[in-house]
Structure 1
Amino acid sequence: MNGTAARIESTALVVAIVGFAAGALTGLLVFHGGTPPLSGPGSVGTLTTFTSGAVGLCVFVAGYVLSSGRPGREWRRTIPLWRRIVDIGALALAHAAVAMLAWITVAFVLAHAFIDAAIYSLAAYGLVGGGAAATAYLVFLSASDMTTSRLATVLVVFLVLGVLSATLSESDPHWWQTNISDLGVDKDFSGAMFDFTMIVAGVLITTLSSYLTSDLEASPLTRRPDGTPDPAARRHAAEITVGLIVLGLCMAGVGVFTVDLHTAIHIGVSIGMVIAFGYLVIRMPRLEPRLPRPFFLVGFAFLAVVVAAFVAYAVGYFYLTVVEIMAFALVFVWLFLLIRNVAAAASDLAVADAAAATPRA
């Protein structure tokens, strides 16, 4: 897809129309002219949720593959095929899951706003089609213009919604008195959702490392003042990539190795996440010294808070769940800040280089 932004928008509208047709046809086949409820089993909300998830999954794969031919995406073809397949799969699953969680929430809210309301058949077909169309449109635009910052946003939204869904569906109301990993122990929706969220989020972090590496290699941060590549800066960028990959694999390991069946490995990968985060924070001033100083200070502050929280847990002041939630939140906030600061620093250097290259009158 080598077209302009207007062409991408036009294509997204066509995809939305196809999505509407698919959703409406699904509603026709499932409801057979009945009057389904808004929420619950056999409802408009349930069908919209699953239809939108399937549409989002297919649309993302198509949009992402088509966009790989656009200028600036050449680096994607340098990644091994198996890695590209994993990256696309994780991104597609994340978009589909966000769409499903969003629609099931909307259905739940509407069902409580319109209690005992039944939907006539034509309206039901339209609602399912409309949900699929909106999902197709938004997912296609996201896939067609996937950037590092957008990927980070998808990652955070997916992680928050996934973990929140697991907590709300947990059968034990006092799960938080042990640790957050207990959510992945139950063999029900809560456990499956938590493990799925950890695995996909972990893979997304490794995908994020590829995007961030591409941004660094294309930016003045990895070049000398004369514009030639700086080998030392490239090595530093590679070290950041490795650190993020380790962080992502450890997070995925939390979902793969549940605390009830693989206790030692589960604890090991959990600690590995904190170690990888701490390593990146401590090394970042040397790896990317041209990033803003406040970013380094914030990173050290976050790391100090995480360490202090673990100490508070060790002396019995905090539940482990509180410590884990704080650590997760600070790690992802730091990742988001890293991406924004890399982009800002690269932009400032590019402007400065352009100004220096402009001849003065």
Structure 2
Amino acid sequence: MSKTPYQLTLPDEIVSELHLKHNQLLNLTLRNGQLIIQQTNNPNERQTLSLRTFLIPSVVMAIIFTIYAVEQKMFRIPLGGDNSIASAVIMLSEISGIFMFLFIYFQQQRQQIDKLRRKTSWRVLPALTVAFVIILAFVTSGFFWAINYLFQTASFDLFTSIALFTMFNGIINFLMIYSALSISTLFITSIFVMTIIGGVLTAMVTNSSRMWWQYNLSFLGTDNALDSWQFNATLILAGLIWLALVDYLFVPLQKILRHNRRLITLRILLNLSALSLAGVGLFPNNAGRLHILHDQMANFLIYFILIMMLGNRWLLPNAPREFEATSYIICAILVTSMILFQWVGYLSLTTFEIVAFVLALSWILLLFQNIYRLYYHTYQTFVVPIS
């Protein structure tokens, strides 16, 4: 059976963006009913890792763990607690995991073709590094807290302890490498959502015996709460991730829509909102000057978000009508809740804060989604002929 040859005409923008050359070979992939064209030397195609990539640092850390255990004459090591497998994994995996994250991240950026994207990646690296340091500490601490709760007083001989340590460390190294390879707008958005929701819910559960809801949501970050630093760190961390996400969203968009005042204003408002969110965690709602600063940061966050909601039609080019209507509805609910709380006294402070938190977070995610769609669906979608 003879095959009919077909030709696909690529726009000049794609050829220029990918630095394609005449007679260059491309990979053509059919995936989930979609046609995907990639360069044969695309860095994304080399994301399959050899075992040695994450096992070598695990072996190195296992040697360090073994030397320490032998010197301390720890021939039977508990699973949890001080001088345990858990403490060793948390400490040494933090070092090896972040090292592998940075190592792979640097490799990825050297292979980045787009100079503007590469510049942005270096600029957001400090925020991403701090975010992943804290996330890794939270996740490992929480995981081993649960393991220790399930297997109380469990202990193992030295060889079994080394094997368990190496296994846990290898898993963490692999996840950190995978995170470095997966850095993208959607990935950072997912991390942002999981961080802020997971951190707040954890703080709520931890302080359930303190009946935090009788005070306010900000009680979770005060001196009267249990492990208040976790709640405050969550807000600071979410603010840092928010800043990184704004960069990832706006850099490619402003490359096309240069000197667009609406986008510049929206970007400034989003950055100010992120800094305000971080400020809410940086200044706990304790008595004195901290209370004043905390309230100011919270008020700034609400004002910036309300301004973006009311001005979404002007701030976001080609904003869908559904998004405009949704923004006005959410804004009306927020203002109504504020009136019911401050002037009517119908809503408690806790209820108002939870309603405002959920609505504001939901709208911010919708805004991020529409900014992402504006670039990738409007300016990165091309109509090409097949002949």
- For the superposition of Structure 1 and Structure 2, which TM-score range results when normalised by the shorter chain? 0.7 to 0.9
Task: Give the C-alpha shift of residue 27 in structure 1.
Answer: 3.3
- The alignment's TM-score, normalised by the length of structure 2, stands at 0.76
The C-alpha deviation readout for 1:217-253, integer Å capped at 9, x for no partner, is 356xx3xxxxxx5x4xx22221121011100111121
Instruction: Specify the code of the residue in structure 2 equivalent to 1:56.
Output: G
The C-alpha deviation readout for 1:94-131, integer Å capped at 9, x for no partner, is 22332332233332333344344323322222222222
Residue 351 to residue 7, structure 1, CA distance change in 2 (3 Å): closer
Partner Cα distance (2:146, 2:62) in 1: 22
Task: Give the C-alpha shift of residue 51 in structure 1.
Answer: 2.8
Query: Is 1:191 paired with 2:228?
Result: yes
C-alpha contact (below 8 Å) 1:98/1:157 kept by paired residues: no
Residue 313 to residue 47, structure 1, CA distance change in 2 (3 Å): farther
Instruction: Specify the code of the residue in structure 2 equivalent to 1:20.
Output: S
Instruction: Specify the code of the residue in structure 2 equivalent to 1:213.
Output: F
Partner Cα distance (1:299, 1:126) in 2: 53
* 116-125 or 165-174: bigger deviation: 165-174
Instruction: Specify the code of the residue in structure 1 equivalent to 2:378.
Output: L
Task: Give the C-alpha shift of residue 264 in structure 1.
Answer: 2.0
C-alpha contact (below 8 Å) 2:249/2:372 kept by paired residues: no
Instruction: Specify the code of the residue in structure 1 equivalent to 2:246.
Output: S
Instruction: Specify the code of the residue in structure 2 equivalent to 1:24.
Output: A
- Aligned equivalent of 1:63: 104
Task: Give the C-alpha shift of residue 270 in structure 1.
Answer: 0.3
Query: Is 1:174 paired with 2:211?
Result: yes
- Aligned equivalent of 1:300: 328
**The one of 306, 309, 316 aligned to 1:278:** 306
Partner Cα distance (2:91, 2:352) in 1: 34
Question: Helix, strand or coil for the counterpart of 2:304?
Answer: helix
- Aligned equivalent of 2:266: 240
- Aligned equivalent of 2:59: 21
Residue 324 to residue 74, structure 1, CA distance change in 2 (3 Å): farther
User: Matches of residues 128-147 of structure 1 in structure 2 within 5 Å?
Assistant: 128-147=165-184
- Aligned equivalent of 2:32: none
- Aligned equivalent of 2:361: 332
Partner Cα distance (2:95, 2:199) in 1: 17
Instruction: Specify the code of the residue in structure 2 equivalent to 1:322.
Output: T
Partner Cα distance (1:248, 1:351) in 2: 27
The C-alpha deviation readout for 1:283-341, integer Å capped at 9, x for no partner, is 22222242332223333333333333333333444332333233333333333322333
C-alpha contact (below 8 Å) 2:112/2:118 kept by paired residues: no
* 269-278 or 180-189: bigger deviation: 180-189
Partner Cα distance (2:225, 2:113) in 1: 43
- Aligned equivalent of 2:9: none
Partner Cα distance (2:64, 2:356) in 1: 43
- Structure with more of its chain in helix, by fraction: 1
Residue 295 to residue 27, structure 1, CA distance change in 2 (3 Å): farther
C-alpha contact (below 8 Å) 1:185/1:259 kept by paired residues: yes
Query: Is 1:288 paired with 2:283?
Result: no
Overall identity of the aligned pairs, in %: 23
User: What's the C-alpha RMSD, in Å, of the aligned pairs?
Assistant: 3.1
- Aligned equivalent of 1:323: 352
Instruction: Specify the code of the residue in structure 1 equivalent to 2:272.
Output: V
* 259-268 or 339-348: bigger deviation: 339-348
Question: Helix, strand or coil for the counterpart of 1:36?
Answer: strand
C-alpha contact (below 8 Å) 1:27/1:124 kept by paired residues: no
Residue 309 to residue 79, structure 1, CA distance change in 2 (3 Å): same
C-alpha contact (below 8 Å) 1:277/1:331 kept by paired residues: yes
- Aligned equivalent of 2:7: none
User: Matches of residues 347-358 of structure 1 in structure 2 within 5 Å?
Assistant: 347-350=376-379, 354-355=382-383, 358=385
Task: Give the C-alpha shift of residue 158 in structure 1.
Answer: 2.0
Question: Helix, strand or coil for the counterpart of 1:68?
Answer: helix
C-alpha contact (below 8 Å) 1:251/1:273 kept by paired residues: yes
Partner Cα distance (1:77, 1:199) in 2: 25
Question: Helix, strand or coil for the counterpart of 1:119?
Answer: strand
Task: Give the C-alpha shift of residue 274 in structure 1.
Answer: 0.9
Partner Cα distance (1:152, 1:182) in 2: 27
How many equivalent pairs are there? 341
Partner Cα distance (1:68, 1:326) in 2: 41
- Aligned equivalent of 1:226: none
- Aligned equivalent of 1:262: 290
- Aligned equivalent of 1:208: 245
- The alignment's TM-score, normalised by the length of structure 1, stands at 0.81
- Aligned equivalent of 1:10: 49
- Aligned equivalent of 1:123: 160
C-alpha contact (below 8 Å) 2:219/2:225 kept by paired residues: no
Instruction: Specify the code of the residue in structure 1 equivalent to 2:321.
Output: R
**The one of 67, 82, 88 aligned to 1:41:** 82
- Aligned equivalent of 1:225: none
Partner Cα distance (1:301, 1:29) in 2: 62
Partner Cα distance (1:271, 1:119) in 2: 53
Partner Cα distance (1:254, 1:18) in 2: 41
Task: Give the C-alpha shift of residue 188 in structure 1.
Answer: 8.6
